[in-house]
Amino acid sequence: MTNAIPASGTLSTRPKRADARRNYDKLVATARTAFGEDGVSTSLEDIARRAEVGIGTLYRHFPTRRDLFEAVYIDEVEALSRSAADLAGEPPWDALVGWLRRLVEYIGTKRALAEELIHDSEIFRRCRDEVYAAGQPLLARAQTAGVVRPDTNIDDVMRLVSGITLVKVTEPAQLERVLNLALDGLRPQAPRS
């Protein structure tokens, strides 16, 4: 079963039967961990072994390595998108900044996986659209509250934050400082004399 993009709703297509869904979820979680620890070249046999399923089970769900990459990537995008809703009850600035920090962490840890996918692929575009759609309400809410400058849009913010993740830093604290500087730039500017 390949991960075809559904016409509407979520990005992923999980099996309907409970036992198949458990194996699918176990394989995706194991692959996420394995790719994070050992890189995207981790063998599918190792992933199946670590998930405690047979290699045939892995191939039934993910006929190709790319299918597994896509499933892990989609699962992470959906979690990031859900996290925007989790933050909706926070004050507008805190909600936006909290989500952008999660986005920085997500981009930083998923770069190698994203590079395995073709950036012009339908899956990549749909995932990008879902992330933008998750962040847009947080940005609009912060702008309405007057805590984010009105002359920006979600594309500007996404490019700003994505660009920060490309910077090679010497320590995690430096990334945090650079992110804070960028976030300060989103605040409304005092009128110039």
Q: What is the pLDDT of residues 35-82, one digit of tens each?
A: 878 877 889 999 999 999 999 999 999 998 888 988 888 888 898 999
pLDDT of 56 reads 94
Asked whether 192 and 152 are in contact (CB, 8 A), the reply is: no
Rounded CA separation 45/51 (Å): 10
pLDDT of 3 reads 40
Reading phi first (left if > 0) and then psi (alpha if -120 to 50, else beta), residue 39 is in left
What type of residue is 105?
A: E
> Which tokens belong to 13?
């297509």
| DSSP string computed for 61-116 | H-SSHHHHHHHHHHHHHHHHHHHHHHTTTS-HHHHHHHHHHHHHHHHHHHHHHHHH
Q: Using CA of residue 139, residue 140, residue 141, residue 142, what is the dihedral sign? A: positive
Q: Which whole number is the average pLDDT over 83-105?
A: 93
Between the CA atoms of 133, 135, 141 and 144, what dihedral angle is there, to the nearest 10 degrees?
-90
pLDDT of 180 reads 92
What type of residue is 143?
A: Q
Rounded CA separation 99/129 (Å): 16
Q: What percent of the chain has pLDDT over 70?
A: 84
pLDDT above 90 (res 175): no
pLDDT of 2 reads 38
Q: How many angstroms from the chain centroid is the CA of residue 102?
A: 9
Q: From 43, 32, 34, 106, select the one nearest 70 (Cα to Cα).
A: 32
